[in-house]
Structure 1
Amino acid sequence: MSEQSETAAPARRSGGLGPRLVRLVSKGFLQAVLIVIALVWLVPTLGLALASLRSLQDNNSGGWWTVFTKPSQLTLDNYGNLLENDTIRDGFLNTIYITLPATFLVVAISALAAYAFAWLDFPGRDWLFLVVVGLLVVPIQIGLIPLAKMFGAIGIFGSVTGVVLYHVAFGLPFAIFLLRNFFAAIPASLLEAARIDGGRDWTIFFRVILPLGLPAIASLAIFQFLWVWNDLLIALIFADRGAQPLTVALQQQTRSFGSSLDVIATGSFLSLIVPLVVFFAFQRYFVQGVLAGSVK
């Protein structure tokens, strides 16, 4: 009788109506809080999107929220005018010319270097990796003047090439550190089995490391893409008028407050759309890369 009461008591505590209601309310409250936070976080983006669809006169006469009572304000004229703006159009193309090579080079070079630091034995490997880790704390501002002089001496200052090389140089330390730690967690038995089957380092890298390291590589590509795409400081210093990206082009389009909302809002939302598309396209790999190593 006592044993039955002891087993029934935990069952009542875990499966009773009261505990179930508490769990339901707690879960519902947490979801409500998260929904509210998400909505508040999205308000500026929604405001930017609606402002980009309103004329300059409408934006100057009232806030973007008036569109809910006057939907006739919505128009695509701003985007049509933006495509006719040579500065914005060239800036958008220059942003692509800068971001894609900078992202690809950082991912490719860091993946090869991370594999070498994780699985190849060569003299000074650990000391060299400590140097890479030390470079993580070096701010990008410290190289502006020295690299500007060096790029000017070799004739690439002000060009797309100079901006790309600057992003690659300061993106590699973090990229190598991130991928090296991920590659080092791959079971050594997989690499030994590949070597027993006659696989060389190149074969192991492309057939074993890259498929298993795809989540981390995708996460790195997203981080690097967003950083370069949204950069203003480096482009403002190292890019001349013919190589300036969209961020610089928008900054130069700024006139007196409120008189350039037709260009700023539309161009900013256009600059926002591309990173969002890239993020959602690789979202599955990004989540896997962030959670990699958290569970066994």
Structure 2
Amino acid sequence: MTATPVATTPELKAPAPSASAIAKKRLSSPWASLVAIVVAVLWTLPTFGLLLSSFRPEMDIKRTGWWTFFSDPQVTLDNYRAVFDEETGVNLADFFVNSLTICIPAVLIPIALAALGAYAFAWINFRGKNILFLAIFALQIVPLQVTLIPLLTIFVKIDISGTFWPLWLAHSTFALPLAIYLLHNFMKEIPAGLIEAARIDGAGHVSIFFRVMLPLLIPALAAFGIFQFLWVWNDLLVALVFAGGGDEVAPITLQLANITGTRGTAWHLLASGTFVSIIVPVTVFLLLQRYFVRGLLAGSVKG
């Protein structure tokens, strides 16, 4: 008798893990968490030391390091009173308002222009579109320093030097290439069927932009707005060139630079003044960081 062969089922192999799953597993390992904690501590340690120094008495700051605060804790608010006192010659309140006056238009102007320009490059066909977009992309590699003198010459000729306009126009001009590039890439991820459906319903480019595109652009607009706000608030070079040397339009960073140059030993004023200047950008980033991450790393919708 011959043995009847028994049918065997083939062994099912587990699917190979994807690259994203492997990366997620590596990032969730204890070593990755330890490295992240160490980097976070080292990154925030100088800011923590600056915060402690801003509350220490003047003589303690000059004689000992901030880490000695724990052995002899002494806290005072005199440093903060001094940077807002007109008698000290610092008075950061006016410069704080100047920074806000500079930042808000310097964020809104490039956002408005870049959104319109990005929509044109993404969804409107016109002659020379690719070449023009390539030229705008190439403007990102032009060094900022080579444009300062030509722009300053133009601003002096049209008699707007010493006002807020040079700062608004300069920051907006420097931000437009990156803004158009980011918003264009974001718009291209929106399914074409959504645009075609709006066109079938009779919507033109204006209606499509404001009713369809703009609500989907909120994460990208918020991300670039945060990036631009932080850049303009912390800027010193553009302020030095275009502020006209007057305190009427000078931002807070320029006043801090003046403290560094004329009061090189006034560490107590530098510590408190610097911490005052970083309150706004840190607060803005912490409150809106989820929009920042979504706008830079995620698409609006997936088709």
Deviation of 1:257 after TM superposition, in Å, equals 7.5
* Larger displacement relative to structure 2 (108-117 or 210-219): 210-219
The correspondence of residues 32-181 of structure 1 with structure 2, limited to 5 A, is 32-71=34-73, 73-85=74-86, 87-181=91-185
Is residue 2:268 matched to residue 1:262?
yes
Deviations 1:148-190 (A, max 9, x none): 1110111112221111111111110111111111111110111
Q: Which amino acid aligns with 1:40?
A: L
Q: Secondary structure at the match of 1:267?
A: helix
Deviation of 1:278 after TM superposition, in Å, equals 0.8
Preserved contact between residue 98 and residue 160 of structure 1 (Cα < 8 Å): yes
* Larger displacement relative to structure 2 (248-257 or 30-39): 248-257
Q: Which amino acid aligns with 1:76?
A: L
Q: Which amino acid aligns with 1:31?
A: S
Is residue 2:247 matched to residue 1:246?
no
Q: Which amino acid aligns with 1:142?
A: V
Is residue 2:224 matched to residue 1:220?
yes
Deviation of 1:39 after TM superposition, in Å, equals 0.6
Measure the CA separation in 1 of the matches of 2:216 and 2:145: 35
Preserved contact between residue 113 and residue 176 of structure 1 (Cα < 8 Å): yes
Measure the CA separation in 2 of the matches of 1:88 and 1:287: 32
Which residue of the partner structure matches residue 280 of structure 1? 286
Deviation of 1:293 after TM superposition, in Å, equals 4.7
Q: Which amino acid aligns with 2:259?
A: Q
Higher share of residues assigned helix: 1
TM-score (norm 1): 0.87
Is residue 2:190 matched to residue 1:190?
no
Which residue of the partner structure matches residue 4 of structure 2? none
Q: Secondary structure at the match of 2:29?
A: helix
* Unpaired segments ≥5 residues, structure 1: 11-22
Deviation of 1:81 after TM superposition, in Å, equals 2.0
Deviation of 1:295 after TM superposition, in Å, equals 11
Deviation of 1:258 after TM superposition, in Å, equals 6.0
Q: Which amino acid aligns with 1:230?
A: N
Deviation of 1:292 after TM superposition, in Å, equals 1.6
Preserved contact between residue 250 and residue 268 of structure 1 (Cα < 8 Å): yes
Which residue of the partner structure matches residue 18 of structure 1? none
Preserved contact between residue 82 and residue 266 of structure 1 (Cα < 8 Å): yes
Measure the CA separation in 1 of the matches of 2:264 and 2:117: 49
Preserved contact between residue 67 and residue 74 of structure 1 (Cα < 8 Å): no
What number of residue pairs does the alignment pair up?
Answer: 283
Preserved contact between residue 186 and residue 300 of structure 2 (Cα < 8 Å): no
The verdict on how the C-alpha distance between 1:295 and 1:154 changes in structure 2, with shifts beyond 3 A counting, is closer
Deviation of 1:294 after TM superposition, in Å, equals 11
TM-score (norm 2): 0.85
Q: Secondary structure at the match of 1:254?
A: helix
Q: Which amino acid aligns with 1:27?
A: S
Is residue 2:289 matched to residue 1:292?
no
Measure the CA separation in 2 of the matches of 1:106 and 1:270: 27
Q: Secondary structure at the match of 2:97?
A: helix
* Larger displacement relative to structure 2 (105-114 or 126-135): 126-135
Preserved contact between residue 95 and residue 229 of structure 1 (Cα < 8 Å): yes
Measure the CA separation in 2 of the matches of 1:32 and 1:295: 34
Measure the CA separation in 1 of the matches of 2:255 and 2:114: 31
The verdict on how the C-alpha distance between 1:144 and 1:110 changes in structure 2, with shifts beyond 3 A counting, is same
Measure the CA separation in 2 of the matches of 1:136 and 1:256: 35
The verdict on how the C-alpha distance between 1:267 and 1:257 changes in structure 2, with shifts beyond 3 A counting, is closer
Which residue of the partner structure matches residue 20 of structure 1? none
* Unpaired segments ≥5 residues, structure 2: 1-7, 15-24
Q: Secondary structure at the match of 2:279?
A: helix
Q: Secondary structure at the match of 1:156?
A: coil
Measure the CA separation in 2 of the matches of 1:151 and 1:114: 27
Preserved contact between residue 160 and residue 243 of structure 1 (Cα < 8 Å): yes
